Chains A and B, each alone.
Chain A
């Protein structure tokens, strides 16, 4: 039985993610050269930058899949790269990750995909899990019939929703999204953005989005961090950032036909 509540800090100022002077080098090339920022609980933050600036690499370093050359990352109070295996596993239950193409298990059905985190990390009795899986599907706007399909039978938009449902299975405190709207038509993309915002507002979820999508940025994001040439060149509210004089920022925000 788990009666521990999360630490009683003021939700408005608690930092759920602290990235401190990250340096990442592949051979002679430094992709990140001193990247630092903080994310507060409940914020929807977007990480933007031109292709190849190492945004996806940074997310992988934050969630413990790739090791940075130097620097520290504190996620939900735990130092990711000096934690023990047990601490890391406990940490992994507190965040959810949506990979760029969903990364669903291709040999399992949708329902079985969402079943995996419940099966591995909880001891819910078998009778309680199917309704919960059905609810997670409903939460992301999918009909219960989607549960019997395999990922190969789904469209790109549906795959991403299933992946989101799987990421939300264990009630995470922070959600990482890697280019969630890439490959979606404008209607599906906006619907997905809206879903993310609603979930964040209702569940108090912190959301960290790596994106190229200008519409996402302008509609649902509280704060944006701009990565360019290995450093953070801007960090603040979207309206403030778009007024900055840096050349990349200017061309990014005016890159509309």
Chain B
């Protein structure tokens, strides 16, 4: 006879192994019970009898642990019998035994070497590119459809989006570009003061703000505000099956959701860039007044004569291109949202990151192109 803690006692009676179960066999004690079973060092015999006359309680976790141990040492259903159990406990053990299956096979861990990973990544990028192109294609098709049937255009939706994208962003776009104008003018001024060439900051500020800083910064702000909003809105609609509902009603989700946003942002961004131009220049004016002894009148006078028309025009030409990229990326990521809780967040973050990277990339391309064209 051997005893393992207050849980189980092993005795051989008439050639059969009898296991006396005692105490409270509950989930909270499963660890101790499993250890106790191990320490008994049972080996398979012709007959195993489980005696439950001293058992206070048993639940499925403990019952499962017992049966699993017995199966592990080689017992089968025919070699195990029960006696002395409360009716409830007997029913519970019967249920546990009936429902036990083989433990699930451990999933094969696929060790991926470097070549496989590069290959998988390349395939993934290719698929991504293909699906992006397909999306751009469908948007283009829908735009063409609009040209043939202008009635399809959803004016109210577009105007509503425009209000959110543009009007609500004016304060923040103005503030940011104003501050950048201040900083830039100050830095230029520090240098220019050394040579007594204060007035040249007007040229610098005007050019930098209108050509580069305002379009870039405003695009980044709009990507963060509106790009993220598009992805979150469309993504949530996707999860709630609203996109499917739109299709079922015979409407095109691209016409209803994507095109209004695309058109609205393509009109809004140049306007915001213009506001940024003004605010940035005003920042320069402020620094000129306070720091560099350039009165506002002098500033604008010089600006009028030195700022080439191309500078603000270039900025305003870049804006719709940035806008199109932001809108397409944002809407695409929204439509890709899947049904789990993390997906909307992950996709929204991805939209903002992608948009910013693309805006800067496009800006670099524009810089090279305009330089070649001598603009």
Q: Do A and B come from one complex?
A: yes
Contacts of A123-147 to chain B: CB distance below 8 A: 123-125, 128, 130-132, 134-135, 138-139, 143-145, 147
The reply to whether A171 and B104 contact each other, CB–CB distance below 8 Å, is no
- Given A2-B26, A105-B341, A128-B30, residue A171 in contact with residue B99 (CB < 8 A): no
Q: Which residues of B contact A106 (CB under 8 A)?
A: 339-342
- CB < 8 Å neighbour of A3 from B23, B65, B103, B342: B23
A90 CB → nearest B CB, Å: 12
- Given A132-B61, A135-B100, residue A123 in contact with residue B31 (CB < 8 A): yes
- CB < 8 Å neighbour of B341 from A6, A107, A168: A107
Contacts of B105-130 to chain A: CB distance below 8 A: 105, 107
Contacts of B181-212 to chain A: CB distance below 8 A: none
The reply to whether B341 and A139 contact each other, CB–CB distance below 8 Å, is no
Asked whether any CB of chain A lies closer than 8 Å to the CB of B83, the reply is no
Cβ contacts A194-205/B at 8 Å (1 or 0 each): 000011011110
> How far is A134 from B105 in the complex, measured between Cα atoms in Å?
10
Asked whether any CB of chain B lies closer than 8 Å to the CB of A148, the reply is yes
A9 CB → nearest B CB, Å: 14
Asked whether any CB of chain A lies closer than 8 Å to the CB of B60, the reply is yes
Contacts of B46-99 to chain A: CB distance below 8 A: 56-57, 59-61, 64-65, 68, 88, 91-92, 94-96, 99
Asked whether any CB of chain A lies closer than 8 Å to the CB of B34, the reply is yes
The reply to whether B57 and A6 contact each other, CB–CB distance below 8 Å, is yes
> How far is A246 from B24 in the complex, measured between Cα atoms in Å?
48
Asked whether any CB of chain B lies closer than 8 Å to the CB of A232, the reply is no
> How far is A170 from B64 in the complex, measured between Cα atoms in Å?
13
> How far is A248 from B68 in the complex, measured between Cα atoms in Å?
51
Asked whether any CB of chain B lies closer than 8 Å to the CB of A218, the reply is no
- Given A3-B6, A124-B31, residue A130 in contact with residue B23 (CB < 8 A): no
Contacts of A1-51 to chain B: CB distance below 8 A: 1-6
The reply to whether B341 and A203 contact each other, CB–CB distance below 8 Å, is no
The reply to whether A131 and B101 contact each other, CB–CB distance below 8 Å, is no
A-B contact count, CB below 8 Å? 94
The reply to whether A202 and B341 contact each other, CB–CB distance below 8 Å, is no
The reply to whether A2 and B88 contact each other, CB–CB distance below 8 Å, is no
- Given A201-B91, A202-B91, residue A145 in contact with residue B27 (CB < 8 A): no
Asked whether any CB of chain B lies closer than 8 Å to the CB of A155, the reply is no
Q: Which residues of B contact A152 (CB under 8 A)?
A: 338-340
The reply to whether A138 and B101 contact each other, CB–CB distance below 8 Å, is yes
> How far is A5 from B86 in the complex, measured between Cα atoms in Å?
15
Asked whether any CB of chain A lies closer than 8 Å to the CB of B29, the reply is yes
The reply to whether A1 and B27 contact each other, CB–CB distance below 8 Å, is no
Asked whether any CB of chain A lies closer than 8 Å to the CB of B32, the reply is yes
> How far is A6 from B57 in the complex, measured between Cα atoms in Å?
9
Asked whether any CB of chain B lies closer than 8 Å to the CB of A182, the reply is no
- Given A106-B340, A122-B27, A204-B88, residue A5 in contact with residue B101 (CB < 8 A): no
The reply to whether A2 and B29 contact each other, CB–CB distance below 8 Å, is yes
> How far is A197 from B93 in the complex, measured between Cα atoms in Å?
16
B32 CB → nearest A CB, Å: 6
Asked whether any CB of chain A lies closer than 8 Å to the CB of B371, the reply is no
Cβ contacts B2-21/A at 8 Å (1 or 0 each): 00001000000000000000
The reply to whether B24 and A150 contact each other, CB–CB distance below 8 Å, is no
- Given A107-B341, A202-B95, residue A131 in contact with residue B31 (CB < 8 A): no
> How far is A134 from B275 in the complex, measured between Cα atoms in Å?
63
- Given A3-B23, A202-B94, residue A122 in contact with residue B64 (CB < 8 A): no
> How far is A1 from B340 in the complex, measured between Cα atoms in Å?
38
The reply to whether A171 and B59 contact each other, CB–CB distance below 8 Å, is yes
Asked whether any CB of chain A lies closer than 8 Å to the CB of B248, the reply is no
> How far is A167 from B104 in the complex, measured between Cα atoms in Å?
21
The reply to whether A124 and B30 contact each other, CB–CB distance below 8 Å, is yes
Q: Which of A122, A144, A171, A204 has the most chain B CB within a 10 Å cutoff?
A: A171
Q: Which of A4, A138, A168 has the most chain B CB within a 10 Å cutoff?
A: A138
Q: Which residues of B contact A145 (CB under 8 A)?
A: 104
Q: Which residues of B contact A135 (CB under 8 A)?
A: 60-61, 64, 96, 99-101
Cβ contacts A99-134/B at 8 Å (1 or 0 each): 000000111000000000000001111001011101
* New contact pairs (19) apart from A128-B34, A151-B340, A202-B91, CB-CB < 8 Å: A1-B29, A2-B26, A2-B29, A5-B24, A5-B57, A106-B339, A107-B341, A122-B30, A123-B31, A134-B104, A135-B61, A139-B99, A144-B101, A144-B102, A171-B59, A171-B60, A202-B92, A203-B59, A204-B88
**A/B interface sample: 6 pairs, CB < 8 A:** A6-B57, A107-B340, A144-B102, A144-B105, A203-B59, A204-B88
